[in-house]
Amino acid sequence: MSETPSRYGGFFTESPRSGILGWVTSTDHKRIGLLYLGCIVTMFIVGAVLGLALRLQLFEPGTGIMEAQTYNATFTVHGVIMIFLFIIPSIPAAFGNLLLPIQIGARDVSFPRVNLLSWYCYIAGAILAVTAIFSGGGPPDTGWTFYVPFSTQTTTNVNLAVSAAFMLGFSSILTGINFVTTIHRLRCKGMGWGKLPLFVWTLYATAWIQVLATPMIGITLALIFVERIFGAGLFDVAKGGDPILFQHLFWIYSHPAVYIMILPGMGVISEIIPVFARKPLFGYWAMALSSLAIAFAGSLVWAHHMYASGMSDMAIMIFSFLTFIVAIPSAIKIFNWVSTLYKGSIQLAPPMLYALSFIFLFAIGGLGGLALGAAAADIHLHDTTFVVGHFHYTMFGGTGFAFFAALHYWLPKFFARMYNHKIATLAWALIFVGFNVTYMAMQAVGIQGMPRRYYDYLPQFGPLNMVATIGSWILAVGLIIMFVNLWRGIRYGTPVGKNPWGGATLEWEVPSPPPMENFGAEDPVVTRGPYDFKGVIADEP
């Protein structure tokens, strides 16, 4: 982070404070974005190691490397870290902070200090989550969903884990408030709503969900606290409570949360595809409005997680119907990305490889989602590893690959150095193959009836579990190569200019790395669209 090109350091060298204080007290959106990025990548690596341990345990039937309780704790901590500390903040908090103000021609977000506060809330949440593993009655073993009545009765350290998620919710809300206000109030001259980059549109839709839905999870988690400490009986049938009510409250947030996770990823893909197809994005307004439609419709489908919970048949029918509606705006995005590629001058640079993989993997995950959204199929598939495979296709194949695409697309901008393309392509190939081997096998064994969250299984599930575990090793090798290559790239890579890819959005018009306050003495004036590539050429390599 400290070693930047000697000729010009941009925001790395222009901070009023030097050293570590210059970072942890900075209100500059780019520094906060990089703080988030460092923490998020660290958390991803921790979560990935736990995921590998889970796969290793399932390599063959019988007790392998861990006992049942350790397995339960491991998948819970894997889930909590990956959901609350990696996927939810990954693109909005890291790349949203890095890019949103520059892309709309602003010098910072509306509330820079609140922005820094959101990072401290994230750190506090992370510390609480890690402390929960090593203190009290041991690491929580409820799964990341904290379902009652188990979560109110287990003696493991649920209280601290719930507090961590509560604190992380505050971080998310603060980021959401900042982004909504910034997009409304700080757009530069000429930056009308029709000229916003699609990444900004998706951040806007995401920010609204963050503001409106996150308080629900805060309240729900607080109620677990009330149950555990005071025995209030809100979810206890013996005291007149309703355990299914918990699932409603939990999913009212947590289903929209999957759109908090995926929408910014879709924004990244919408930025990358036109640049590497050298064509304007097909159907700009359809893409922009479909983001809002996904955010709205996605907020009304939460109970499709609950078909097997004992919920009423009337509710099952209604939520099944509503779930299919979400497929429409999602399909609009897929078709428009493919239409953008049609007759384009496609360049298979590393960011584009990840973006194309996103479309492929997200389509598989999305179609699996329709199978799960249909109540009849869901009864068979519920709580099998098919659900785990589906979730990873959408969240890892979707958001994860979009995050990797964003790393390869924008890191050269902020560090002014380029990574090795051949190694990046090799890493992508390993990740893509490893991913599909792992999660396709997981989906297949799920259809055969293998339950999720079991540390042991019947012998007939053996072969596919072995395949999935071998796939996870290929995936891990690819990830290691990718991160090492990116790290070496930002430290020692070839210096690049301000526009190495030939992008037309505003971030490619400022120097690399961008200066403090992003623009020179005069604010930018926007006269053309974000995907108008006429006269825009990439710097010579």
Partner 1 sequence: MTESGHYIVRFRTFVIIWVLLGTLTALTVVASRIDLGAGNIWVALGIAATKSALVIFFFMNLRQESRLFKIGLLVLLSIVAIFIGLTFFDVLYR
| Closest C-alpha to 42, from 82, 95, 101 | 82
Binding mask 414-453 for partner 1 (x = CB under 8 A): ----------------------------------------
Q: Choose which of 45, 130, 186, 244 interacts with partner 1 (CB under 8 A).
A: 244
312 binds partner 1 (CB under 8 A): yes
Rank residues 317 and 458 by Cβ distance to partner 1 and give the closer one. 317
470 binds partner 1 (CB under 8 A): no
The minimum distance between CB 372 and partner 1, in angstroms, equals 18
Rank residues 16 and 310 by Cβ distance to partner 1 and give the closer one. 310
Q: Mapping DSSP to helix (H, G, I), strand (E, B) and coil, where does residue 500 land?
A: coil
CA torsion 126-129-134-135 (nearest 10°) is: 120
Token pair recorded at residue 398: 């979707």
Distance between CA atoms of residues 139 and 132, nearest Å? 6
Rank residues 311 and 433 by Cβ distance to partner 1 and give the closer one. 311
Distances from the Cα of 338 to the Cα of 25, 194, 503, angstroms: 43, 21, 19
Contact in structure between 1 and 503 (CB atoms under 8 Å): no
The minimum distance between CB 263 and partner 1, in angstroms, equals 18
Token pair recorded at residue 157: 């350290």
The minimum distance between CB 48 and partner 1, in angstroms, equals 35
The minimum distance between CB 98 and partner 1, in angstroms, equals 30
Angle, nearest 10°, between helix axes 243-277 and 401-415?
50
Q: Choose which of 7, 19, 20, 314 interacts with partner 1 (CB under 8 A).
A: 314
219 binds partner 1 (CB under 8 A): no
Q: Give the binding range for partner 1 (CB under 8 A) out of 53-61, 78-86, 239-247, 346-354.
A: 239-247
Rank residues 54 and 183 by Cβ distance to partner 1 and give the closer one. 183
Rank residues 301 and 388 by Cβ distance to partner 1 and give the closer one. 301
The minimum distance between CB 148 and partner 1, in angstroms, equals 16
- Residue type for position 255: H
237 binds partner 1 (CB under 8 A): no
Q: Choose which of 199, 201, 319, 457 interacts with partner 1 (CB under 8 A).
A: 319
| Closest C-alpha to 518, from 18, 103, 3 | 103
The minimum distance between CB 318 and partner 1, in angstroms, equals 5
308 binds partner 1 (CB under 8 A): no
Q: Which helix (H) or strand (E) holds 99?
A: helix 97-103
232 binds partner 1 (CB under 8 A): no
248 binds partner 1 (CB under 8 A): yes
Contact in structure between 30 and 93 (CB atoms under 8 Å): no
Residue 111 buriedness (CB in 10 A; 0-12 / 13-18 / 19+): middle
- Residue type for position 341: L
Q: Choose which of 148, 158, 164, 303 interacts with partner 1 (CB under 8 A).
A: 303
Rank residues 148 and 406 by Cβ distance to partner 1 and give the closer one. 148
The length of the chain, given as a count of residues = 541
| Closest C-alpha to 435, from 398, 384, 381 | 398
Q: Choose which of 114, 286, 308, 318 interacts with partner 1 (CB under 8 A).
A: 318
Distance between CA atoms of residues 228 and 295, nearest Å? 33
The minimum distance between CB 248 and partner 1, in angstroms, equals 5
Binding mask 260-299 for partner 1 (x = CB under 8 A): ---------------------------------------x
**Residue 144 CB partners (closer than 8 Å, separation 6+):** 76, 79, 80, 83, 84
The minimum distance between CB 179 and partner 1, in angstroms, equals 17
Distance between CA atoms of residues 421 and 361, nearest Å? 22
Q: If you ran DSSP here, which 8-state letter would residue 114 be given?
A: H
Site for partner 1, rule CB under 8 A: 212, 216, 242, 244-245, 248, 252, 299-300, 303, 310-315, 318-319
